[in-house]
Amino acid sequence: MTTAARAAALSARAAQPQADAIALENRHGAHNYHPLPVVLTRGKGVYLFDEDGRRYLDMMSAYSAVSFGHSHPELVAALTDQAGKLAITSRAFHTDRLGPFLELLCRMTGMDRALPMNSGAEAVETAIKAARKWAYKVKGVPEGQAHIIAAQGNFAGRTTTIVGFSTEAQYRDGFGPFAPGFSTVPFGDADALEAAITPNTAAFIVEPIQGEAGIVVPPAGYLKKVREICTKHNVLMICDEVQTGLGRTGRILACDHEGIRPDGLTLGKALGGGLLPVSAFLAREDVMAQFTPGDHGSTFGGNPLSAAVGEAALKLLEREQLARRAHDQGEYLMAQLGKLHHPAITDIRGKGLLVGVEIDPKFASARAVCEGLMAEGILSKDTHGTVVRFAPPLVIEREQIDFAVAAVQRVLKALESKAKVRETETV
C-alpha cells in the first residue's frame, strides 16, 4: 500500500471507528448478544464514553454489577494495590485477603459462612450442590432423589443445569438434555410452593425480585410466607440475590425488606465492585458444613485480588450508606417517571434503584425506546421486549435522574409521532 493510500485508509478508519469495532466483533465473535450500536471506551462514575468521546448516562450498570459507578477511585486503588502484591494463588494456600473479606461479607448479610466463586451462575451451582448434599446427609432424602423447586420466570445464569429449570423457552432451546430434580411454581404464589413440596424437597430457590424476568416484584409478605413454609417443611430457602443484593433495592439484601433470613444466599454482580467477577454462596452453618475438602472449588474463586476488591466494595457500600441512597433515589426516580403520565407507560415497578418501565407494545418496542434513549445520551437495555430497565449506579444524583426522565419524555414524544404515522399507514 502506498503512503497516500495508507493515509486514506487510516482516515477512513478514523471516520468509522465504531463501525470497525462492531464489524470486527460481528465477524469474529459468537452472536449470542444483540448490543446497542455503541462502542464504549471509558467509564467514570455514572457516565460512559464512546469512541468519539460522546457521554452517556449509564442507566443499566452492567445488569447491576456497577453499583459504585465506573472506575471508583477507591476500588481501583484496592485493585491495583493488590494486583501489584499478589493476585492469584488458588485455594491450595491461604492468603491474607480471604479471611477479612469473608468475615465482612458474613457480618453484613447475617449469614454464618461464605464460599467465594466468580460468576453468579457458579454461586447458584454451588447453592444447588450444597442443598442436595444437605438433603441427603441431614434431611435424610434417599440418594439421588433430592428435589429443588424454582420459581417460574427465574433467571439464575446460563449453565446447562441452570437453564434446565428456566421457564424461558429460548434459554433452553437446543441445550438439553437437562438435569432432573427440578420443578417450578408460579412466582409470588406461596400456596403453590407449599403444594409442590414433597418429602424429598431439598430447597426452594427464589429471587426476591425477578430481575431478568422484567423487574417483577412479588406481593408484599411473599418472602415471609415462603420463609414460614420452608421452615415448616424443613426445606432450605435459598435467595438468589445476585442482582437484588448489596443495596440495589434499598436494603443490603432485598430479603431485609421483609425481615427474613434465608438458609442459603447467592451474591455476585456488584460484589466485584464493577471491576471483577466476584460471587459467593452464603449459608447457615449446617448447610455449609456439607462441603469437605475436595467436594467443590474453583481455580479463581476467593483469589486475593477478588477478595481485596470485594472487601473494599463492601466497605464502601457500608460507609457511603448506598442502600439508603438507592432507596431514596429509587423513590424519586419512580415518582418522576410516574409524573410523565404517558399512555405508552403501562407500569412502573421496582424497589430502590431496580426499576422496570413497561411499554405498551402497540406503541413501541422497549428496544426502540432504548435506541431513542441512546440518541439522547442514556444507556439502558430492554428486557423481555416490553420492559425498559432503569438500574443506574447507586451513586446517581437527582439532577442525573431528572436528565434521564426528561430524555424518556422526549423519546416517548418522538415515538408518538412515529406511532401515529404507522397508524395512518395501516388505515
Ligand X SMILES: *Cc1c(COP(=O)(O)O)cnc(C)c1O
Residues marked active site are found at: 155, 240, 269
Q: Which three cell numbers stand for residue 372?
A: 431513542
Residue 314's CB is within 10 A of a number of other CB atoms, namely: 21
User: Smallest gap, in angstroms, from Cβ of residue 210 to ligand X?
Assistant: 8
The secondary structure of residue 137, as a DSSP letter, is I
Q: Which three cell numbers stand for residue 142?
A: 434417599
Where does this chain touch ligand X (CB under 6 A) — which range of 127-135, 153-161, 293-301, 332-340? 153-161
Interface with ligand X, residue 156, by CB under 6 A: yes
User: Smallest gap, in angstroms, from Cβ of residue 95 to ligand X?
Assistant: 23
Where does this chain touch ligand X (CB under 6 A) — which range of 80-88, 119-127, 320-328, 374-382? 119-127
What stretch of H or E contains 274? Answer: none
Our CB check for ligand X shows the closer of 255 and 412 to be: 255
Among 126, 243, 303, 329, binds ligand X (CB under 6 A): 243
Interface with ligand X, residue 213, by CB under 6 A: no
Residue 140: Cβ-neighbour burial (10 angstroms; 0-12, 13-18, 19+): exposed
- Give the residue carrying C-alpha cell 446497542: 36
Among 157, 274, 301, 330, binds ligand X (CB under 6 A): 157
User: Smallest gap, in angstroms, from Cβ of residue 204 to ligand X?
Assistant: 15
Interface with ligand X, residue 310, by CB under 6 A: no
User: Smallest gap, in angstroms, from Cβ of residue 249 to ligand X?
Assistant: 12
Among 45, 181, 208, 211, binds ligand X (CB under 6 A): 211
Do residues 185 and 152 touch, judged by C-beta distance below 8 A? yes
Interface with ligand X, residue 128, by CB under 6 A: no
Interface with ligand X, residue 253, by CB under 6 A: no
Interface with ligand X, residue 120, by CB under 6 A: yes
User: Smallest gap, in angstroms, from Cβ of residue 87 to ligand X?
Assistant: 20
Q: Which segments of 155-303 does DSSP mark as H helices, in order?
A: 160-164, 169-172, 190-196, 222-232, 285-288
User: Smallest gap, in angstroms, from Cβ of residue 277 to ligand X?
Assistant: 6
- What is the distance between the alpha carbons of residues 79 and 304, in angstroms, rounded to a whole number? 10
Nearest Cα to 334, choosing from 405, 286, 284, 384?
A: 405
Among 121, 309, 334, 370, binds ligand X (CB under 6 A): 121
- CB under 8 Å, gap of 24 or more: what pairs does 88-96 form? 88/300, 88/303, 88/304, 88/305, 89/303, 89/304, 90/299, 90/303, 91/297, 91/298, 91/301, 91/302, 95/303, 95/304, 95/307, 96/304
- What is the distance between the alpha carbons of residues 171 and 158, in angstroms, rounded to a whole number? 8
Where does this chain touch ligand X (CB under 6 A) — which range of 107-115, 149-157, 175-183, 303-311? 149-157
Interface with ligand X, residue 240, by CB under 6 A: yes
Q: Report the site for ligand X in 190-209 (rule: CB under 6 A).
A: 207
- Binding residues for ligand X (CB under 6 A): 63, 119-121, 124, 155-157, 207, 211-212, 240, 242-243, 268-269
